[in-house]
Chain A
Amino acid sequence: MAIREVYLDNSATTRPLPEVVRAVVDALENNYGNPSSLHRKGVEAGRVVTRAREAVAASLGVAPAEIVFTGAGSEAVNLAIKGARPGKRGRHVITTAVEHHAVLNACAQLKEQGIEVTVLPVDAAGVVDPERLAAELRDDTYLVSIMYVNNEVGAVQPLVEIAAVIGAARKAGRRLLWHVDAVQAYGKLPLRPRELGVDLLSISAHKVHGPKGVGALYVAPHTPLQPLVAGGGQEWGLRSGTENVPGIAGFGVAAEMIAREGHLAADRLRPLKKRLVEGILAAVPGAVLNGPACDKENPRCAPHIANISFPGLRGEILVHSLEGRGIYVSTGSACSSGKKPGSHVLQAMGLKEDVVEGAIRFSLSITNTEEEIDYAVKNTAAVVEELRALYG
């Protein structure tokens, strides 16, 4: 069978499931009421939101009242970081060098307000050392924001060990909030914020075959959080604004699928990633995998993201060349001959310039097939050979 399109940029966004599309359209066509309205139209729309909230809560093993819908994963992150109340003594925040820009730039805004921000370094695989966190905790630290799965290289942060560090600090009387950016982990790895003692956890619908423009923040009971958007008091007063009923409905459908099958996702994805990584490393001399080794036994390796460098070539040219063969991937590092510096994640990992410049990211979804992976491997090898002949 001739393959015309292989979409391997699922960490950028995913194609919505047909059931999701149907739910969105149905909400637009039939449930156009405002959930705040007193009449039946409002009640019906409110029911759609409630059902979706239950589905999202179930996918995280939490209570529906602990879910706040937002306008994006980034908005959930911003609400968590900028909405967390420092309390009387709090003036210090800890995060990591490999966070998404939503986290890093929200922290930069805190800094402008006089809050101190410590950025934890990572090792060559992009992983944070929990002991380093323990060493950086201070009496005035009120918030720790550490992601679960890194979006560029798929490094899985050691949340269990981090939970132990934070738990110990709390036992010692420290008042600490912990936010986890779980946007890239959701639907791929088991997520149980309650078991870890996480206070705030951000997820996004469109990374899991839901619609764009809707995210959610899990907020543990009694978390001191203030809203960023004031208004009519929707979402328990934490996110005013008329609910995005169609988006939320679609999110609900995607979440139902995760609640049902999420525990199987990693086992489905891992063999695909292994096939991809091993295939490319074998077929392309000089190609290197960035991030944690791709190995079932390695808990630091995400099942769906593979960041591979082809030193000497440029990521964006590889992206376009693969695009020419119907394969869609992305590059974390932008044009370095232009003004933008390369990926902050790869740089934090201490990679050399040519490795940073030649990196592309493949990100998988459960909808990808072995056949697609083989096509991608074959064509990546061909494209690299062709470009090397030009630049060699």
Chain B
Amino acid sequence: MYNTYLIRYGEIGLKGKNRPQFERRLMDNIKRALKKVGPARVERVYGRLVVESEADPARVLERLSRVFGIVGISPVLRLPLDEEAICAGALEVLRDAAGRVQPPAGSPLTFKVEARRSNKAFPRTSPELNGLVGGYLLKNYPGLKVDVHNPLVRVGVEIREKNAFVYAAEVPGAGGLPVGAAGKALLLISGGIDSPVAGWMAMKRGIEIEAAHFYSFPFTGEKSLEKVRDLCRVLAGYTARIRLHVVHFTEIQKEIQKHCPEELRVTIMRRMMFRLAARIARQRGALALVTGESVGQVASQTLESMLVINRVVDIPVLRPLVGMDKLEIIQRAQNIGTYDLSILPYEDCCTLFLPKHPATRPRPDQAERAEEPLAVEELLNGALEWTVMEEIRG
């Protein structure tokens, strides 16, 4: 019965002068998200967006619930500004919602009307509308009862400039800011649990993500790369598209293995990854790096390690997981839909070259000395020359 959806957005409503720009971004992102399910129209009515699509409502809602910047989504009936039509529409959405809620045994179906009038030319005030629509529903739906505090069904009525909207359900949105509203960053993605979550959290704050993966064939295989692509595909589901840079890391890996002391190999590997990522970021107009690091999880994630690794770049490095425990990260990964992919057992190059006793408190001068045998500049250029950009669609 629904082909129209009322979209509420919170945070971006507050952004003053930037607001039209944010709204436009959100509208674009919604259109892109719905492309796969069918044609959609998005229009702005004051403080809200209205989406029209003839596609299966379940699929539309699923897609919309993954668009950042949306606080809530309600499937609505769009009605003329006419009392009779509004009452009839309210009854229709109530009946539909009643099929989905289960009153406790023996108790009646309770409801409440929540009217809002932003179009002050409409002759009825909001309290008047509450009474009018509520009375109509009570008369026409046997056994119904009003409960203003804790109703099972909330029937919303919004009086806008040209139309009235009536609805009975709100699906929570993903929150955050529209992707792209905050510029672009480059995500360092492995096949693990953490980095996709970090990417998702950056996206949630409106950051457009491109991803870089360090590929060390033959030390890791095509299956592990395919897993990274699959992870990007899940993330792309929140933004429609992700560009993945597959960085040819093999030669660097080999050189480190040959020339650097075992306990510093991870540190140096990370420094090389950061250097490469910073260069790709510059080429791609990305303003920051995003990593899945969290403090103190493994040896390379101590503050001392971060200091030594971070020194090789001057671009900001965002670490959205820094405030999270492992269990919280896992839970988030499950909600996002990356967890089941991340735990597939394909080796990534980190685990393959992991020394038995990596240095947990490396010093900058140690790392620099350990790097001396490496032709850093040449290695970086070589790796970038063989880097391939792929476009991954959600």
Which residues from chain A sit less than 8 Å from chain B, CB to CB?
316-317, 319-321, 323-324, 334-335, 337-340, 389-391
Q: Which residues of A contact B219 (CB under 8 A)?
A: 317, 320
The residue that A390 contacts in the complex, of B217, B254, B346, B351, with Cβ under 8 A, is B254
- Chain B: which residue is nearest A386 at the CB level? B254
| CB <8 Å contact, A324 and B347 | no
Given contacts A337-B352, A339-B345, A340-B345, contact A320 B254 (CB under 8 A): no
Residue in B218, B347, B352 whose Cβ sees the most chain A Cβ within 10 Å: B218
Q: Interface SS of chain B: helix, strand, loop or mixed?
A: loop
Q: Which residues of A contact B354 (CB under 8 A)?
A: 337
Q: Which residues of A contact B351 (CB under 8 A)?
A: 337-338
| CB <8 Å contact, A316 and B347 | yes
Q: How far is the CB of A331 from chain B (nearest CB, A)?
A: 11
| CB <8 Å contact, B217 and A320 | yes
Given contacts A337-B347, A337-B351, contact A324 B218 (CB under 8 A): yes
The residue that B257 contacts in the complex, of A334, A340, A390, with Cβ under 8 A, is A390
| CB <8 Å contact, A389 and B347 | no
B59 sits at the interface (CB 8 A): no
Q: Which residues of A contact B221 (CB under 8 A)?
A: 316, 319-320, 323
The residue that A335 contacts in the complex, of B218, B254, B345, with Cβ under 8 A, is B345
Q: How far is the CB of A360 from chain B (nearest CB, A)?
A: 12
B220 sits at the interface (CB 8 A): yes
Q: In the complex, what distance in Å separates the CA atom of A389 from the CA atom of B352? A: 16
Q: In the complex, what distance in Å separates the CA atom of A317 from the CA atom of B253? A: 14
| CB <8 Å contact, B217 and A324 | yes
| CB <8 Å contact, B258 and A390 | yes
The residue that B218 contacts in the complex, of A321, A334, A338, A389, with Cβ under 8 A, is A321
Q: How far is the CB of B94 from chain A (nearest CB, A)?
A: 47
Chain B 261-311 interface residues, beta-carbon cutoff 8 Å to A? none
Q: Which residues of A contact B254 (CB under 8 A)?
A: 390
Q: Given A323-B218, A335-B346, A338-B345, 15 other A-B contacts at CB below 8 A?
A: A316-B347, A317-B218, A317-B219, A320-B218, A320-B219, A320-B220, A321-B218, A323-B221, A334-B345, A337-B352, A337-B354, A338-B347, A338-B351, A390-B254, A390-B257
B321-365 toward A: CB 8 Å interface, digit per residue (1/0)?
A: 000000000000000000000000111000110100000000000
Q: Which residues of A contact B258 (CB under 8 A)?
A: 389-390
- Chain B: which residue is nearest A383 at the CB level? B218
Q: In the complex, what distance in Å separates the CA atom of A340 from the CA atom of B219? A: 18
- Chain B: which residue is nearest A324 at the CB level? B218
Which residues from chain B sit less than 8 Å from chain A, CB to CB?
217-222, 254, 257-258, 345-347, 351-352, 354
Give 10 closest A-B pairs by Cβ, nearest first. A320-B218, A321-B218, A338-B345, A320-B221, A390-B257, A335-B347, A324-B218, A337-B351, A317-B219, A339-B345
Q: In the complex, what distance in Å separates the CA atom of A320 from the CA atom of B346? A: 13
Q: In the complex, what distance in Å separates the CA atom of A1 from the CA atom of B254? A: 31
Q: In the complex, what distance in Å separates the CA atom of A389 from the CA atom of B258? A: 8
Q: How far is the CB of B128 from chain A (nearest CB, A)?
A: 65
Q: Which residues of B contact A390 (CB under 8 A)?
A: 254, 257-258
Residue in A317, A319, A324, A334 whose Cβ sees the most chain B Cβ within 10 Å: A317
Q: Which residues of A contact B218 (CB under 8 A)?
A: 317, 319-321, 323-324
| Sample of 27 A–B contacts (CB below 8 Å) | A317-B218, A317-B219, A319-B221, A320-B217, A320-B219, A320-B220, A320-B221, A321-B218, A323-B218, A323-B222, A324-B218, A335-B345, A335-B346, A335-B347, A337-B347, A337-B351, A337-B352, A337-B354, A338-B345, A338-B347, A338-B351, A339-B345, A340-B345, A390-B254, A390-B257, A390-B258, A391-B257
Q: In the complex, what distance in Å separates the CA atom of A362 from the CA atom of B352? A: 24
- Chain A: which residue is nearest B343 at the CB level? A339
Q: Which residues of A contact B346 (CB under 8 A)?
A: 335
Q: How far is the CB of B207 from chain A (nearest CB, A)?
A: 32
Q: Which residues of B contact A321 (CB under 8 A)?
A: 218
Q: Which residues of A contact B222 (CB under 8 A)?
A: 323
Q: Which residues of B contact A316 (CB under 8 A)?
A: 221, 347
- Chain A: which residue is nearest B218 at the CB level? A320
Q: How far is the CB of B248 from chain A (nearest CB, A)?
A: 12
Q: Which residues of A contact B352 (CB under 8 A)?
A: 317, 337
Q: Which residues of B contact A334 (CB under 8 A)?
A: 345
Q: In the complex, what distance in Å separates the CA atom of A319 from the CA atom of B217? A: 11
- Chain A: which residue is nearest B257 at the CB level? A390
Q: How far is the CB of B261 from chain A (nearest CB, A)?
A: 15
Residue in A316, A321, A334, A339 whose Cβ sees the most chain B Cβ within 10 Å: A316
Q: How far is the CB of A208 from chain B (nearest CB, A)?
A: 26
Q: In the complex, what distance in Å separates the CA atom of A391 from the CA atom of B258? A: 8
Q: Which residues of B contact A323 (CB under 8 A)?
A: 218, 221-222
Q: Which residues of B contact A319 (CB under 8 A)?
A: 218, 221
- Chain B: which residue is nearest A334 at the CB level? B345
Q: How far is the CB of B221 from chain A (nearest CB, A)?
A: 5
Q: Which residues of B contact A391 (CB under 8 A)?
A: 257
Q: In the complex, what distance in Å separates the CA atom of A337 from the CA atom of B346? A: 10
Q: How far is the CB of B286 from chain A (nearest CB, A)?
A: 30
Q: Which residues of B contact A339 (CB under 8 A)?
A: 345
Q: Which residues of B contact A389 (CB under 8 A)?
A: 258
Q: In the complex, what distance in Å separates the CA atom of A334 from the CA atom of B223? A: 13
Q: Which residues of B contact A337 (CB under 8 A)?
A: 347, 351-352, 354
Q: In the complex, what distance in Å separates the CA atom of A339 from the CA atom of B343? A: 10
- Chain B: which residue is nearest A391 at the CB level? B257
Q: In the complex, what distance in Å separates the CA atom of A321 from the CA atom of B218? A: 5
- Chain B: which residue is nearest A323 at the CB level? B218
Q: In the complex, what distance in Å separates the CA atom of A320 from the CA atom of B221? A: 6
Q: In the complex, what distance in Å separates the CA atom of A149 from the CA atom of B56? A: 54
Q: Which residues of B contact A317 (CB under 8 A)?
A: 218-219, 352
Q: Which residues of A contact B345 (CB under 8 A)?
A: 334-335, 338-340
- Chain A: which residue is nearest B250 at the CB level? A324
Q: How far is the CB of B353 from chain A (nearest CB, A)?
A: 10
Q: How far is the CB of A247 from chain B (nearest CB, A)?
A: 26
Q: Which residues of B contact A324 (CB under 8 A)?
A: 217-218
Residue in A335, A390, A391 whose Cβ sees the most chain B Cβ within 10 Å: A390
Q: How far is the CB of A333 from chain B (nearest CB, A)?
A: 13
Q: Which residues of B contact A320 (CB under 8 A)?
A: 217-221
Q: In the complex, what distance in Å separates the CA atom of A51 from the CA atom of B254? A: 56
Q: In the complex, what distance in Å separates the CA atom of A336 from the CA atom of B347? A: 10
Q: How far is the CB of B228 from chain A (nearest CB, A)?
A: 16
Q: How far is the CB of B219 from chain A (nearest CB, A)?
A: 6
Q: In the complex, what distance in Å separates the CA atom of A337 from the CA atom of B217? A: 17
Q: In the complex, what distance in Å separates the CA atom of A321 from the CA atom of B220? A: 10
Q: In the complex, what distance in Å separates the CA atom of A323 from the CA atom of B220? A: 12
Q: How far is the CB of A253 from chain B (nearest CB, A)?
A: 31
